[in-house]
Homo-oligomer: A and B are copies of this chain.
């Protein structure tokens, strides 16, 4: 069995209080005594138990993060940014993926019991009432890429401005008939993107319109299916997809059908995943790592009690133009 604080105290001939003081060099201890304790601790290879310490301090020194999935670069980057900052702040990071878990709500609640606070990424993880109940219980919470709730901190990527920029880019290229691929009712992010597109069209001084094409999931297969539908009839000028995976699915199917891009049709995505670069996909880059990092900082403020009023951060995004819309100004 590993040495405890009492073993060290006995060996050094002091009380456990003194050992505790030396280990966390809090109060003053006579150098001579300190040396004796340190010698005993080194001798016994004493490492203070986190459990004992945490119980006494009534804190976990750990943060949680809940996300739907880790495949695909989006969430992985968010988690990475989160972990980096949390570690800097001296906190461990607990992860919980809700994908394919039917007891996600319970799992999140269980996780909340093991952390000083947690971050919930994406609306596809747990229901709002779970979030509300956690918040009501006093759990420190930060929402990421999830519709803000007044009383709860949130971090989101800007959608509207980039959607407008993207749309103007397409209009500049002469595109007039757009098709937005994705279901705005599934996610507020998607709804905002669509909204930005529609606004840009309204503000434009040319006649242009956007059709909305709903899909089951935002994945490659659905993207391919959408292309299949359009191959029979006239292609629009551009497909504006709610995310990169949809767009990549479309690109693959279009290429297979021998449709030339960007002359016959243009395709855009959202996220700027790594594959988008190789596929030459015009898309919108999100500061994923920064989303996680910001969430970690906000959460730390909540936990440490530095701040009590909720904050809502909105991080900027950036249009990345590639060959799926124009050969003119390719960004490799």
Q: Which residues does A use to contact B, with CB under 8 Å?
A: 45, 47, 49-52, 54-55, 58, 60, 62, 69-73, 76-77, 79-80, 83-84, 87, 92-97, 99-101, 107, 111, 113-114, 137, 248, 251-252, 256, 273-275, 277-279, 332
A168 to B60, CA, bound (A): 54
Inter-subunit contact A83/B97 (CB<8 Å):
yes
Would B248 and A278 count as touching, CB distance under 8 A? yes
Inter-chain contact A84/B113, CB cutoff 8 Å: no
Closest B residue to A281 by CB, please name it.
B278
Expressed in whole angstroms, the Cα–Cα distance for A111 and B90 within the complex equals 11
Answer whether A113 and B70 are a contact pair too, CB < 8 Å, given A100-B84, A332-B252. no
Measured CA separation A77–B51 after assembly (Å): 30
Additional A-B contacts beyond A87-B101, A251-B278, A256-B332 (16; CB < 8 A): A47-B113, A49-B55, A51-B54, A51-B55, A51-B60, A55-B55, A70-B83, A72-B274, A84-B97, A87-B96, A92-B96, A93-B94, A94-B94, A248-B278, A274-B275, A275-B275
Q: How many copies does the complex hold?
A: 2
Shortest CB-to-CB span from A41 to chain B, Å, is 15
Instruction: Give A144 Cβ to nearest chain B Cβ, in Å.
Output: 16
B60 and A70 contact, CB distance less than 8 A? no
Least Cβ–Cβ distance between A80 and chain B, in angstroms: 4
Cross-interface CB contact of A95 among B93, B100, B274, cutoff 8 Å: B93
Closest chain B residue, CB of each to CB of A279: B278
Query: What CA separation (Å) do A26 and B52 show in the bound complex?
Result: 25
Minimum CB distance partner of A274 in chain B? B275
Q: Please tell me if the beta carbons of A80 and B94 are within 8 angstroms of each other in the complex.
A: no
* Bound Cα distance from A47 to B110, whole angstroms: 9
Compute how far the CA of A95 lies from the CA of B49 in the bound complex, rounded to whole angstroms.
19
Q: List 11 A-B contacts (CB under 8 A).
A: A51-B51, A55-B55, A70-B80, A72-B274, A84-B99, A87-B97, A87-B107, A92-B96, A94-B94, A252-B278, A275-B277
A113 to chain B, nearest CB (A): 5
A286 to chain B: closest CB distance in Å? 14
Write out the residue numbers on chain B whose beta carbons fall within 8 Å of the beta carbon of A93. 94-96
The minimal Cβ–Cβ distance linking A255 to chain B, given in whole angstroms, is 9
| B contact residues around A87 at 8 Å (CB) | 96-97, 101, 107
In the complex, are the beta carbons of B80 and A97 less than 8 A apart?
A: yes
Please tell me which one of the listed residues B60, B70, B83 contacts residue A76 in the complex, with CB atoms under 8 A apart: B70
Tell me which residues across on chain B come within 8 A of A49, comparing CB atoms.
55, 113
Q: How far is the CB of A101 from chain B (nearest CB, A)?
A: 7
Tell me the smallest distance from the CB of A171 to a CB of chain B, in Å. 27
